[in-house]
Every structure is written in C-alpha cells, then in structure tokens.
Amino acid sequence: MEKLMYLMLIEKSKTFNKITKKVIEEHVDHIRKLDDEGILEICGVFKGYPGMAGMYILKADSREEAEKICNREPLVSGGYATYKLAALQIANRENNYLL
C-alpha cells in the first residue's frame, strides 16, 4: 500500500508583518496539538527564502483531511499566510526506496 504524508508549504501574505503575539501563541498551540495527536511529523521555519514562512509534514489519511488541518492553522485562518499542499510518497527501507 502506498504510504503518503502531506507537505504544507506556508507562504506569507501581504498582511504577514501584522501578526500579533496572540496569533503566534495560537500558531504554537496549534503545532503542539498536532504533535500531541500524532499528526505532525516535522515542522520548521524557512530561513533565506523570501515569501516563505515555513512548512509542516502531516500524517493524514487523505488529502481532504490534510486540507482541513491546513485550514485550521491560525496563520492561514487569520489571513496572514496561504499554503500549498502536496502529497509526499514516502521512500524508505521498508518499500526499497520505491524501487
């Protein structure tokens, strides 16, 4: 069976520089909740890539589920960022690196 995760690329919107401390705290709470629920594989901030805020790699059962998770991100729901979502087919020892 094909194993997929979902890559959420978070892009800054024109209002990104108006983020408040409250929004950042909500963003971090969201990350913690995803991690506690076992949905978050990894996340981070991009350095040196103008326009890009960061990324998540999410464990979700479907693209629709991943979309719902992305839309709950406070940076997105607050209009401070947009996102692109890509399905990521996992290559590992278990599947012989997709050979």
Domain ranges of the chain: 4-92
In this predicted structure, what is the pLDDT of residue 1? Answer: 58
pTM: 0.91
**CA–CA dist 17, 43 (Å, integer):** 21
What pLDDT, in 10s, does the model give residues 64-95? 999 999 999 999 999 999 999 999 999 999 99
Q: Which two tokens stand for residue 9?
A: 């690329």
**CA–CA dist 54, 60 (Å, integer):** 19
End-to-end CA distance of the chain: 14
CATH of 4-92, one of 3.40.50.720, 3.30.70.1060, 3.30.300.30, 3.20.20.60: 3.30.70.1060
**CA–CA dist 55, 81 (Å, integer):** 12
